[in-house]
Amino acid sequence: MSLSLSLSHSPRRFLPLLLPAPPFAMPPRRDHGKQTHQRWKPKAAPAPAPAPAPAPSSAAVERMALAPSAAGAAQVWVPRGYATSASSSSSSAVTAAEQGGADDKLSRLIKGAAEFSVDNNTFTEAQIRATFYPKFENEKSDQETRTRMIEIVSQGLATIEVTQKHSGSLFMYAGHLGGAYAKNSFGNIFTAVGVFVLGRLFREAWGSKAPKMQAEFNDFLEKNRICISMELVTAVLGDHGQRPKDDYAVVTAVTELGHGKPQFYSTPEVISFCRKWRLPTNHVWLFSTRKSATSFFAAYDALCEEGTATPVCKALDEIADISVPGSKDHVMVQGEILEGLVARIVSRESSVQMEEVLRNFPIPSLDGGDSDLGPSLRDICAANRSDEKQQIKALLENVGSSMCPDHRDWFGYSGLEPQSRNADKSVVTHFLQAHPTDYATKKLQEMIGLMKRKNFSASFKSYWNYQKVDSLSNDNLCYKMVIHVYSDSVFRRYQQEMRKNQELWPLYRGFFVDVNLFKANNKKAAELSKDSNTLLRNINGALDSSLSSKDGLADEDSNLMVKLKFLTYKIRTFLIRNGLSTLFKDGPSAYRTYYLRQMKIWGTSASKQKELTKMLDEWAVYIRRKYQNKQLPSSTYLSEAEPFLEQYAKRSPANQALIGAAGDLVQTENFLAILDAQRDEEGDLQPERGTAPSSPTSTSLDVVSKTEGLIVFFPGIPGCAKSALCEQILNTPGGLGDNRPLHSLMGDRTKGRYWQKVADERKKKPFRITLADKNAPNEEVWRQIEDMCGMTKAAAVPVIPDSEGTDSNPFSLEALAVFMFRVLQRVNHPGNLDKSSPNAGYILLMFYNLYDGKCRREFESELYERFGSLVKMPLLKPERAPLPGDVKTILDEGMSLFRLHQSRHGRVEPSKGSYAQEWAQWEKRLRVVLSRNANYLTSIQVPFDVAVKEVLEQLKAVAKGDVKTPDTAKRRFGNIVFAAVTVPQADILSLLRKLGQNDGDVNNFLNGIKVEDNLSKAHVTLAHKRAHGVAAVASYGVYQNQEVPVSFNAFLYTDKMAALEAQLGTVNGEKIDSKNDWPHVTLWTAPGVAPKEANMLPQLFSSGQAKRVLIDPPITISGVLDFY
């Protein structure tokens, strides 16, 4: 089939090109601003013995040998070069005696490494071996991010790039020496599967040339220090949203590691790289105008609840300025269930670069498409069912020695057990203490040191680098370090540190570093120190500053990105798979609470919530009846879910739209990969537990029954007035406006474990409203409250003091000052926290620190997502003077002292630590400063009675179920059905009155249908998703919320319907046209007549079955264009 390129119209959909291009031309590269640095290099050591190639048996491991060690204690270790050719991996024979000596030496080295110490002659060199994009969290909500993305595209500063999100696992490959990696691990079944799939892709692409090209590819990655990242999609590693029809991978990033900060290829560069090596690429769409950008987001909103691969790709192809189909058709290899889309800001030059790359690098042919590729991934896994090691061994042997000549990352070295790969935990300490040899090492020390000091939830696991085993000696140690971030909150906190220090390197996802610790003799150590210090002075900041901004974009704009997932995928993964633990452990009621909470968080439309509730309740009954008390494994949940969904979809078109696609189930039971330890889908070790999130929280509060309970709790700080507020609520006549009894439990008067007491009280009377009068400052407490909600069938609502917060704490310094001032005004406090308490200031600082790491938006969003509602208690007046300097100073001093005390003594009381004298002096000065500023601290507070009144109103709304999403919550994207111009109802009624005054028949008709009572809304439909398609509806996105003049020139009616004929005006000089043949406002239809039937009025008039009254001159009313 002959396909050609057309650039003459938009959208430009690039299909296979027939333009000649050199098959191995290098992709165009941009100048990354890298500098050539002279570094001291030790005298070349004797060439080490080549690394052995693995044989099909375990004997391969036994034949590996150590190279002869350099003689003389004074000699310096010589770092082994990275630019190693593929041929260097050829095997060499060794005698049994030599092998035994090597084994003993390696064992001694590993045991002796614990004695390694850092002195002034200790140096370290670190090089990133594999990494994926940094995980950037947008400062703003998704809606604000979308708006900002459209703005900068409209200004011509950038382009929006959209790619498909394939449902698989992250796999990174840096060559056979550089290594194969999952998200946070290596040397396991996940990476073995990745290597096999990548090798098979080469066979498909290159046919008989595959072994040669695999070796060249490995050599190319090694010499150029490049890592490729792929989305690995297989049916053997556990279920995601849909079992793929074929096992495949798609390249998502190419990273040039170099000897500095990693540089990520642009998408045009990724495509040119992949087409050179015949690797699969993703489907890419570019939106470079305001109209196409707004249309894209509108298209997603129209498809978010029903979108599958075919309609999504079709709509985006119609809207995009450029569409580049992927090498792997999602429908053909994965199926119709599409996880989502990733939209990010890229260079404004991307469109031009993409056109150039697509001309110069046509889609390559697949030479191995018709040849025998050998056993498939599923065949191999099915034939090797004994254990994980057997499957790994079979996969690596089948992929061949050209692709994977060395198996040491999986099986270790010289018969040593795999666990011997783990190195001593002191590696990180030694790494931070040693002298850096280059700029990259210094920046990595800076990053890791910061994360350690801040106690970020991350690990820095070190393993012996068996690829460098030939170079090991007592004074030269080589490791692989895995930087594993446990929580997404770490990325947010690290970003806050980057805003303070713009020279910090980003924190990457999938982060692996080669670390070399070595000692030099005095002379060479002096040279190294001199050279490295000069180098660091010269280049410190230069490399990063040149890359800190691009194309006139601020840093935060250049990193804007949103992930947009589809409900058809989330039904399977979030609602079914992730809910299995809750369903089987806590029962159907708790499961219902769980999935309703998820849908509320997503902002699922009411109609879809109703449909999903019916379907998921039926699923719960079906699967529990079938499995009784034995939980369905999450790794194979689709074996049961897919047949259920298929049968459910067959019942009605509505069910089919809800499910998206079902059927064609791939049976995996016979070839699923075997895991010796439980891991998640990215290859991370995890304990045996269910996959559901923390225990279920409240049900959707707009459907809270009066037979259910309510827990009111306070994520605050002492002095936030929670006890006074609880007292006011208890004394309010009528309570919260319903007949449920109120009960308060004060923390300071409760002995024992407070939250257990609350749980016990709630079990006695689960339907009442509980006021939990105790500060609830952390996630551990929030989880306990969630548990109570699930066990006692209750909803929960957090009440928080309203405060702007700082970039790392949800409470501002002004709020902290007010809380301290209030506490120091108390007398005879039941918890002994009052003016007589010698360490009152310290205690408040301790509470304040419990919230450290979360900005206000993150704090409020998390609470809302957990509990579905949020009540804010007014605290500070909007119009107020700035915080006095002496108050700010005393608070800053206290926080600095607190950090010093905590780092040395932990939770020891301040009077018992080494800073006891400093604490006593600070507490005294705190009281003096706050007393001196008493008038200010009193004047900036909202009066307590006003605050109580506002909180009561909000709580009553929660109790009734009349809850509004707080301002800080994430915007709820609805499922767009149509675009329309809405005109004010009052203006339409005024027009009709004038018309009736001039025409008796019209007046009688309008009075007969009681138009004044029955007209609830008036709009001119522009396009409907079902009738005109998603792209047509989305095309109005550029005009959303704009005023549109609408002229009405006729009134048409029959005994069954009535409408006003409309003519649309312009917005910014552009004519607004309706996709309907007859633009109109439907005013009324008789019972049983659908509103869309009003479209027939012109034909009915032509046939004499309707009346038409001219409006002359036409009356113009302004309306607003929006989506519905």
pLDDT tens figures, 825-883: 988 888 878 888 999 999 999 999 888 877 887 788 788 777 878 899 999 988 888 89
The pLDDT value given to residue 218: 96
Parallel/antiparallel/unpaired status of strands 742-746 and 769-775: parallel
Model confidence, pTM: 0.68
Q: Higher model confidence: residue 787 or residue 837?
A: 837
Within 10 A of 688 (CB to CB), how many other CB atoms are there?
Answer: 6
The pLDDT value recorded for residue 531 is: 62
554-558, 769-773, 912-916, 970-974: which range is least confident on average?
970-974
Encoded amino acid at 1049, one letter:
N
Kind of pairing between the strands at 476-485 and 511-519: antiparallel
Q: Mean per-residue pLDDT for 55-81? A: 31
- Least reliable range by pLDDT among 33-42, 782-791, 840-849, 981-990: 33-42
First to last CA, the chain: 42
Task: Let me know if 165 is a catalytic residue.
Answer: yes
Residue 289 has pLDDT above 70, yes or no: yes
CA pair distance 679, 701, nearest whole angstrom: 36
Rounded to the nearest integer, the mean pLDDT of the chain is: 81
Among 459-468, 517-526, 941-950, 1051-1060, which is the least confidently predicted range? 517-526
**Confidence (pLDDT) at 466:** 84
Best CA proximity match to 37, nearest among 257, 222, 263, 259: 259
CA distance 1112 to 959: 53
> Do 989 and 1015 meet the contact criterion of CB atoms below 8 Å apart?
yes
Question: What pLDDT is stored for residue 777 in this prediction?
Answer: 85
What is the per-residue pLDDT across 650-702, written as a single tens digit (0 to 9) for each?
999 899 989 988 766 556 555 555 555 444 434 443 433 333 333 333 323 33
Q: Which residues contact 678 (CB under 8 A, 6 or more apart)?
A: 685, 686, 687, 688
Length of the chain: 1124
Q: What pLDDT was estimated at residue 369?
A: 72
Residue whose structure tokens are 């040593």: 416
Compute how many other C-beta atoms are within 10 angstroms of the C-beta atom of residue 95: 9
The single-letter DSSP state of residue 15 is: -
Question: Exposed, middle or buried: residue 753 (CB in 10 Å: 0-12, 13-18, 19+)?
Answer: exposed
DSSP of 383-415, one letter per residue?
H--S-HHHHHHHHHHHH-TTT----HHHH-STT
Express each pLDDT in 145-166 by its tens digit: 888 999 999 999 999 999 999 9
Question: Residue 536 — very low, low, confident or very high, per pLDDT cuts 50/70/90?
Answer: low
Helix (H/G/I), strand (E/B), else coil: 628: coil
pLDDT tens, 609-626? Answer: 999 999 999 999 999 999
Q: 3-state class of 853 per DSSP?
A: coil
Q: Please report the pLDDT score of residue 292 as a whole number.
A: 94
CB 759 within 8 A of CB 788: yes
Nearest to 193 by CA among 461, 33, 376, 456: 376
User: What is the share, in percent, of the chain residues with pLDDT greater than 90?
Assistant: 47
Least confident of 356-370, 718-732, 855-869: 855-869
Residues whose CB is less than 8 angstroms from the CB of residue 7 and which lie 6 or more positions away in sequence, other chains included: 355
Binned at pLDDT 50, 70 and 90, residue 908 comes out as: confident
Q: What angle do CA 1108, 1112, 1115 make, to 5 degrees?
A: 100
pLDDT tier at 105, thresholds 50, 70, 90: low
| pLDDT attached to residue 460 | 92
The residue that leads in pLDDT, 30 or 297, is 297
Please tell me the predicted confidence (pLDDT) of residue 314: 94
Provide the pLDDT for residue 29: 38
Residue 698: CB atoms within 10 Å: 27
pLDDT band at 973 (very low <50, low <70, confident <90, very high): very low
Where is pLDDT greater, at 204 or 690? 204
Buried (b) or exposed (e) across 865-892, using 16+ Cβ within 10 A? bbbbbbbbbbbbeeeeeebeeebeebbe
Q: How far apart are CA 783 and CA 789, in angstroms?
A: 10
Residues 727 and 771 sit within 8 Å (Cβ to Cβ): no
> What domains are there in the chain, each with its CATH number?
93-114+416-545 (no CATH), 133-411 (3.30.470.30), 580-659 (no CATH), 701-960 (3.40.50), 978-1123 (3.90.1740.10)
1110 is written with which tokens? 């001219």
Distance CA 168, CA 243 (A): 10
Residue 298 burial by Cβ neighbours in a 10 Å radius (0-12, 13-18, 19+): buried
Higher pLDDT, 97 or 402: 402
Phi, psi angles (nearest 5°) of residue 868: 80, -5
3-state secondary structure (DSSP) of residue 601: helix
Spatial contact of 719 and 873, defined as CB atoms under 8 Å apart: no
Assess contact for 340 and 165: CB atoms under 8 A: yes
Report DSSP state, residue 1085.
E
CA pair distance 377, 388, nearest whole angstrom:
14
- What is the three-state SS of 643-674? HHHHHHHCCCHHHHHHHCCCCCCCCCCCCCCC
Structure tokens at 979: 């675009």
CA atoms of 941 and 802, how far apart (whole Å): 11
Least Cα distance to 185 among 430, 484, 541 occurs for 484
476-485 and 226-233 strand pairing: unpaired
Mean pLDDT of 1058-1072: 93
Q: What pLDDT does 395 receive?
A: 95
Identified catalytic residue from 165, 565, 1025, 1075: 165
pLDDT for 97 beyond 60: no
Q: Which range has the worst mean pLDDT, 233-247, 672-686, 953-967?
A: 672-686
**Which segment, 32-41, 245-254, 423-432, 459-468, is predicted with the most confidence on average?**
245-254
